[in-house]
Structures are given as C-alpha cells and as structure tokens.
Structure 1
Amino acid sequence: MGSDLPYTAKSFSGPGTAQASPVVRGRIEDLARLEDVCRSAFEQDLGTDPAGSRVLLSEQLTNTEEVREAVTTLMFEKLNVGALFLISSASLAAQASGHITGLVVNVDADSTSTVAVHEAFRLSTTQKTADVAGAGLDANLKTIADLAMSTYRASPDEVRPGLLTSIILVGQHTMADGLPGRLTDLIRAQAPGHAVEVHAAPERATQVWTGGSITASTTSFEEMWFTREEYDDNGPNLIHQKCMY
C-alpha cells in the first residue's frame, strides 16, 4: 500500500454507498473505517489476502504515537500481516524525486503540509500545516509559499543550503497548469539572493506511491521490516524505534 491513506480512503466505497474517509486533514480519526479501507484495498483492488503480506504504509507527520501504535495493532491483529513499515509520505516523495535532502510540499484533499527531509530522514520539527488545499489551492498559493519558507527557517543551518533548490511538489491537487511556476515566483520573492527551484514531476500525483515502490524494492530495506515475530515479542510500541523516517 504505497499510496497515502487519504487518497485510498477517498476512493473507497462499500456496496451501493460511498463511505466516509477515516482520514481528516492528514490525521487518522476513525480506525474502524480504516480497517474497512484496508480490507477493501487488499481484497477488491489488489485481489489478495493481507494475511502474511508485508505492508508499507505512508503516513503524515500529524499521526500521534498513539495512532501509530493503533494502526500497528490493527495491521497485525486484525489483518494478520507478516511485516509492516510506516514511513512519512515526505520521505517517499523525496526518494521518488531522487533527492535525499529537500523541502517537500505535499497537498492533500483538505490540507497542505511542508517539511524538510535530510538524508532521507524527515525533520519533524520543521513541519508546517494549513487547512488549504483542493479547490482553494490556487487562491491560497501565497499561504503555501509562506508554509514552505517557515519550514526553511525552522531547519538547521547546516541543512538549509540545499533546501530551496530542492523543493519537491507532490499531490494530485498540484496538477493545475502553471502552478509550479507561480509557487516558484512567490518563494523567490521571500528569498531574495537565493536560488529557488521547485521540482514538479509529471507523475507527482502518485509520487508517494512511486517512492514506496522504490523503497520496498531495495535490498537494504529487507532488514528494516517490523516483523510479526518482533510484534509478538515487543508489542506495538516498537514501531517508533523501527520506523523513524
């Protein structure tokens, strides 16, 4: 499950009726609904049984430790997966773009977040969020530029030099014509004397999924999975030590 949960949840519908998303403004609010979404993704979309599967889930940084542990418990106890890994959508987007360090601007259906990624690790203290997205994105592009600059200013001095030339724009709501150029101009206006480059890949609507596919396919990742045996021995709280990206 490389795609981020808000997109998966939005596309889910049960027999004859659309279902509410378990994710609101990047935060998981309904674990029972999340279980329905995950089962639908496995059984209807992938045509497979989750039992014994290895599952990579992207997540927003707004997830609390309690939510991460609850999701871990759901995956192992309800879906009986064989291994699990949680990783921030920002880290996956950076991976897909070919940048291990960058400033990720992620626009979801109902919120926008910015965060710095350094050597593939998210810098959680740099995250900024706003309830600006979807249909209101174009009219509030200045707000998104402000978020990006707030993340830049919150980043450690040694990380800043590579950020403004590696701004990674992702999300299906960023596909409007001319949007990357307008965002570049707004950020340049706030950073005189600095080179600014916004990377907006044509496939940025699915860039997080691509990053997940790349990550899970690497040989080195085999040793990173949180396995069923580790879960049984240690419980769900080990997820915080195993999954720090």
Structure 2
Amino acid sequence: MYGGDEVSAIVVDLGFHTCKAGYAGEDAPKAVFPSVVGSIDQMEVDEPASTDANSGSAGEAKASKTPETERSKGKRKLYVGSQSLGLRRDHMEVISPFKDGIVADWDIVDSIWDHAFRECLLIDPKEHPILLAEPSFNVQQQRERAVELMFEKYKVPALFLAKNAVLTSFASGRATSLVVDCGGGSTTVAPVHDGYVLQRAVASSPIGGEFLTDCLMRSLESKGIEIKPRYSFKRKEIRAGEFQTVDLDLPNTTESYELYSQRVIASDIKESVCRAPDTPYDETAYANIPMTPYELPDGQTIEIGADRFKIPNILFNPSLAQTIPGMENFSEVAPSTRGLSQMVIESINKCDVDIRRELFSSILLAGGTASMQQLKERLEKDLLEESPQAARIKVLASGNTTERRYSVWIGGSILASLGSFQQMWFSKSEYEEHGASYIQRKCP
C-alpha cells in the first residue's frame, strides 16, 4: 500500500487528439499539447532541421534544437509539443501513437509522457504518484505495458489507471451516469454504475472530431476552396494595411505534415462556425441558409453555408458522410456505425432494468467535439423522440466548454486529491512483488 500523500499526484490524460497533464487538486491541466509527434528518419536525411523563410523567429528555431523537443528513438528523431510541430522541417512525418483507438507505438507514448513530465511540468516522476486516464475499452495487455513503462523507466512511487468514463462521472459529482464521450478519434458511450464501467454495455463509433474535420476539408475542397498551411506562404505589406501573399516552394515537406497543418486550420473553422442543426439535416431545407464568413490565415475570406449544419449532423446520421466528395467509401469502412442517439439507447438497453431510469436522467456529454454549439439540445430532442415514453431524459453538459473538453482530466484531478483515495494506489513495492498483471486487481 502506498500512503505518500505528502506530494501532489500527477494526472495524465493521453487522448487521441491532445495530451493533458497537471497536478491533482487543480482546476485545469497545466500542459495541453497534441498527441501526435513529428518524426524524422535519421537514415533518410543528415540535417533534420530546415530553416525556411516561414520557420518563425530565431528564438523558436533555437528552441527546436534543445533537448526539450527532440528525442532520438533508435534511428528516428521525435519532435513533441505544439511549438516543435509548428516548426516545419524537411522530411518530417507527423505520426500518431494510436491505431483503432489503442496504442500501437509505445516509443511515441514514452516521448509524449517524457515531454509532459520534464518540459511542461518540470518534475521528476520518481517523486510523484501518477494517475493515468485510459479508454473505457482498454485491454489487459495495454494496461500492463503502461504499468511496466511507468515503474521500469520512470521509477514512479505509485500508479493508478482510471477509466475515462468514470473520471468524467466524478467530474460532475455522480457515481452513476451514462457518459457520452465525443473525442478526437471516436465517440464512446459508457454506462458508469457506482464508480465502475459496465463493460458489456459500452458502445463506440469511429466518428470523432478528426473525422468531422476531414469531412469539412473534403467538402471545402469540392467547392474549390484551398486551405493553405501557415508554413507554405508569407505575407508582405505592400502598402499600409494592404498585404500580398507569396507562396513558398518547400519541396521536402511531407504529405502527413501538410495534412496536419491543414487540419489545424480546418478544426478551427469547424469550432468557429459549425453547430448541430435543431432537426435532422435536409439538403433542400438548408440550401439557402445564410453564409457565414471565415478568414483563412493567408487573408482569403471564405463563405460557409450548409456545411455548418451538415458536418455536425454526421454524428447523428453517419450515412451523410457518403454524400461528401471523397468520403463515399465510409460505409464500407464502418458499415454498422450508428448515430449518437441510437448508441445511447442501445447502451442503456444492455444495462439492468433497475438502473435504466437513472441512466436516462443523467446523460453526461464530454470531450472536445461535445463543445459544439447546440449538440446537447439536439441529442436531448432526438432521445425524447426515440426513447420509451416513461423515461425522463436529461442530458447534462457543463456550460463551460473548457470543463467539457477537459472533463476526464478534471475527474482525475478530483479523484487523486481525495484523502480516502490514497490507499488505492498501486505501489512500486506491490509491482515488484506481484508484477504488472496485478493492476487488474488494483484498478478493475
């Protein structure tokens, strides 16, 4: 048993889109940065850093070469963090540690955790117990690998793995709820009862924030709108207040880095102008909707009309994705994808009859995509139409979008700072005695 509550625990939530890390007991994470890394194959190129005309200031270029951002893993160099990824380099690929929602590359996870501890929080992990958030459908092999890495490499004194849905439930002060987590890589519906996830009733869909961003990008491309990444041009002032955009020729930029840079802009467009429609999307009804302007980084102002409503509606009607040019094969990739309201009802129906009423009345919206305008109201409306008449539907979502975005981390912060929780830690001595598989008993 670990009883060391004299130092603050560290809470880390490595999501598909962003990594959040900070001290337990605080209101928000101290560090928030992308969950992807830049990777340069050392065999392919001798000089990894490029100094193009749009690389930023000399200070930024210098920062990119410090140990805080680059790490060598075998024959590749990894660049972690927003600043490092914002700096274009020749031959740099942008890669994610995840595949199908679970970790596929532990070297990348290691470099992300290392960046969070040593550069963002400026701590030595040997001195702090660590609470890690994990997906509700995480498998034993993945959990044991995380345990081994934390104890063997980082020498942490104690560890705890907590399910995302449970932490979201704690963040709202509930022990029982239905958590609808709209994340970057997927949407997961997980019932939580008395602080435990009911695994048999967890439902998930591959439609998350990144998928919606891709749909928006394809739709804009089909209308002849090109999103120019920030590194690919520079703006010259020719007269006071008048600028000219000059394209830069950067032949060694990888496709993955170009796509990453375009996604950053497209994601901002989505968050700025998109909102869930009050009723199911209909092409003819929204054909003459007023346009909303958005200014791209290169100074070009674009007008966005029906896409503002069509893209969010894909969450409720996945087959809409097939009507977007370039996304026609989606149904072949994910043939059984259900809409959000169907997933909620399906998940509740797999739970015991005794708790269904309580789940219907405490549906929690969480995740970055859940911050979209009118999403809560639309989900509530659809559920009222589709659920049993006796059910009392209540969809709960924090009015503060930051809290909605970071609800998993906030739940971890609350849990790890409770006095009664300190005896729950999986200690280093228990790991040495029982091995990594003991995590299944300590953190069911």
SS at match of 1:141: coil
SS at match of 2:179: strand
1-structure distance, mates of 2:100, 2:124: 29
8 Å CA contact 2:178, 2:359 repeated in 1: yes
Q: Residue 44 of structure 1 aligns to which amino acid in structure 2?
A: E
2-structure distance, mates of 1:25, 1:172: 19
1-structure distance, mates of 2:412, 2:175: 14
2-structure distance, mates of 1:159, 1:195: 13
8 Å CA contact 1:116, 1:127 repeated in 2: yes
Match of residue 364 from structure 2? 168
Q: Residue 239 of structure 1 aligns to which amino acid in structure 2?
A: I
Correspondence 1:5 to 2:44: no
SS at match of 2:189: strand
TM-score, normalising length: structure 2: 0.53
Deviates more, 1:227-236 or 1:17-26: 17-26
Q: Residue 5 of structure 1 aligns to which amino acid in structure 2?
A: L
Give the drift of 1:11.
Answer: 4.7
SS at match of 1:58: strand
2-structure distance, mates of 1:74, 1:94: 28
Match of residue 385 from structure 2? 189
Number of aligned positions between the proteins: 244
Listed as ranges, the gaps of 5+ residues in structure 2 are 1-9, 20-32, 38-68, 71-78, 86-93, 213-310, 317-338
Match of residue 107 from structure 1? 182
Match of residue 172 from structure 2? 97
8 Å CA contact 2:181, 2:189 repeated in 1: yes
Listed as ranges, the gaps of 5+ residues in structure 1 are none
Match of residue 205 from structure 1? 405
Correspondence 1:140 to 2:140: no
Match of residue 85 from structure 1? 160
8 Å CA contact 2:12, 2:131 repeated in 1: no
Deviates more, 1:38-47 or 1:1-10: 1-10
Task: Give the direction of change, closer, same or farther, for the CA distance of 1:172–1:25 in structure 2 (3 Å limit).
Answer: farther
Match of residue 6 from structure 2? none
Give the drift of 1:52.
Answer: 3.2
2-structure distance, mates of 1:86, 1:20: 25
2-structure distance, mates of 1:214, 1:26: 25
Give the drift of 1:189.
Answer: 1.4
Match of residue 45 from structure 1? 120
Match of residue 140 from structure 2? 65
SS at match of 1:160: helix
SS at match of 2:198: strand
Task: Give the direction of change, closer, same or farther, for the CA distance of 1:129–1:74 in structure 2 (3 Å limit).
Answer: same
Match of residue 437 from structure 2? 237
Deviates more, 1:184-193 or 1:36-45: 184-193
Give the drift of 1:234.
Answer: 0.6
SS at match of 1:229: helix
Q: Which has the higher helix share?
A: 1
CA RMSD of aligned residues (A): 1.6
8 Å CA contact 1:91, 1:120 repeated in 2: yes
8 Å CA contact 2:182, 2:188 repeated in 1: yes
2-structure distance, mates of 1:239, 1:11: 25
TM-score, normalising length: structure 1: 0.94
Q: Residue 429 of structure 2 aligns to which amino acid in structure 1?
A: E
Task: Give the direction of change, closer, same or farther, for the CA distance of 1:25–1:183 in structure 2 (3 Å limit).
Answer: farther
SS at match of 2:438: helix
1-structure distance, mates of 2:171, 2:377: 21
